[in-house]
């Protein structure tokens, strides 16, 4: 995030705590109405519904689009009743819808998705969410609107007119911010990638990024390996580094020398599926992919990973090298006192499939 964004960030957790208190106050009202959102339809993060790199259309998308069209022409009391009836979870469903709408807008090249996404944001009571989450979605919708050549000021202005005062100020305030602040890469840690289905969003890590290989395509292929395994909620982030901690204490001089030659890196993170372990909430899989300037540097990282694997560890690790590409997969527990789901033998199952992906990338270049 740029300096303008950083200077305005509140204490971590403060905004969400305030939102939860506001939600509790709503629930204490005996006149609380049922949710106005479609019953029995929700986005499932374990099914990949929140993955913005290549989202698949969901029945809830059409339901919410129709609802937003209706709300856009409703009167003030009807919109107020909607907000009063909606839960905090409902509001986050609307935020997820807005994110997905931004992707589909870029793919369909039409403004109707942007309008629906902005209307969804306008229906949210700002005090019952972390306002930064709404700003992040606004950045994606703003980017999508520009990509398709829509009148951004007009679309945002109409949405603000539908919103309650605090959300209206947030929407209009976003337009008044600097170009850098509104930029999805510079301020919001997102970037656009191209898939077979069209553009999508992945994370952006702000590190130096000058790869010759299509690391984004390789990362998406690696993400598919993870999804076919025991993991879900897969997140891809470009422009990241390879943390030294995983390969340190073997030959730190060689590690430092190799990492200097990194041209670009990508990180794939995923969570263990609930059915795999009672401790699934404390388990994570991380895959670090880097392109280096030369093969000796990639080989040096492979050697370090092999020596690190031979030592007693409280995590599982496997390293793969093809040409100037090096990939390190790590399975570990993220909670002190909780054993890792993965160990050294179990992580070896990833070696063959990762090797296939890297070999294909090297052969196709």
pLDDT in tens, 243-300: 999 999 999 999 999 999 999 999 999 999 999 999 999 999 999 999 999 999 999 9
Last residue of a domain, one of 145, 167, 182: 182
pLDDT tens digits, one per residue of 99-146: 999 999 999 988 999 999 999 999 999 999 999 999 999 999 999 999
At which residue do the structure tokens 């050697």 appear? Answer: 303
| Domain-embedded: residue 191 | no
Q: Which residues pair with 332 in a beta bridge?
A: 284
At which residue do the structure tokens 């993060």 appear? Answer: 45
Q: What is the DSSP letter of 294?
A: S
* Domain count of the fold of the chain: 2
| Domain-embedded: residue 225 | yes
| Domain-embedded: residue 216 | yes
| Domain-embedded: residue 246 | yes
| Domain-embedded: residue 219 | yes
pLDDT at 34: 87
- Asked whether residue 155 falls in the same domain as residue 221, the answer is no
| Domain-embedded: residue 130 | yes
Full domain range(s) for residue 276: 205-364
Helices of type H across 165-319: 165-176, 179-182, 215-227, 252-260, 295-309
Question: Which residues fall within 8 angstroms of residue 105, CB to CB, at 6 or more apart?
Answer: 111, 112, 113, 114, 117, 141, 144, 145, 147, 148
- Asked whether residue 352 falls in the same domain as residue 238, the answer is yes
């Amino acid at each position: 995030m740029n300096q303008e964004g950083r200077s305005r960030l509140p204490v971590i957790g403060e905004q969400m705590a305030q939102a939860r208190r506001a939600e509790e106050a709503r629930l204490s009202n005996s006149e609380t109405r049922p949710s106005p959102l479609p019953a029995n339809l929700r986005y499932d993060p374990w099914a990949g519904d929140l993955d913005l790199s290549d989202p698949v259309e969901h029945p809830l998308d059409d339901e919410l689009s129709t609802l937003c069209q209706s709300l856009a022409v409703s009167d003030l009391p009807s919109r107020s009743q909607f907000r009063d009836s909606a839960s905090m979870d409902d509001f986050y469903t609307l935020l997820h819808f807005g994110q997905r709408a931004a992707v589909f807008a870029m793919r369909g090249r039409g403004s109707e998705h942007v309008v629906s996404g902005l209307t969804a944001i306008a229906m949210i009571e700002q005090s019952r969410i972390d306002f930064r989450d709404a700003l992040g979605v606004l950045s994606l919708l703003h980017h999508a609107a520009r990509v398709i050549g829509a009148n951004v000021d007009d679309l945002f202005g109409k949405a603000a007119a539908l919103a309650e005062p605090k959300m209206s100020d947030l929407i209009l305030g976003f337009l008044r911010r600097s170009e850098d602040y509104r930029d999805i890469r510079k301020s919001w840690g997102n970037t656009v990638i191209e898939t077979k289905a069209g553009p999508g969003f992945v994370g952006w890590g702000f590190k130096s990024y000058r790869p010759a290989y299509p690391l984004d395509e390789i990362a998406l292929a690696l993400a598919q390996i993870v999804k076919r395994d025991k993991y879900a909620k897969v997140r891809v982030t470009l422009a990241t580094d390879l943390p030294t901690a995983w390969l340190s204490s073997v030959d730190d001089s060689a590690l430092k020398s190799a990492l200097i030659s990194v041209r670009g890196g990508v990180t794939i993170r995923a969570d263990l599926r609930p059915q795999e372990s009672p401790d699934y909430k404390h388990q994570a899989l991380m895959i670090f992919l880097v392109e280096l300037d030369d093969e000796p540097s990639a080989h040096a990282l492979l050697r370090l990973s092999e020596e690190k694997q031979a030592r007693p560890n409280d995590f599982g690790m496997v390293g793969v090298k093809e040409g100037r590409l090096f990939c390190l997969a790590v399975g570990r527990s993220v909670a002190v006192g909780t054993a890792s789901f993965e160990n050294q033998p179990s992580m070896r199952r990833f070696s063959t499939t990762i090797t296939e992906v890297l070999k294909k990338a090297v052969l196709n270049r």
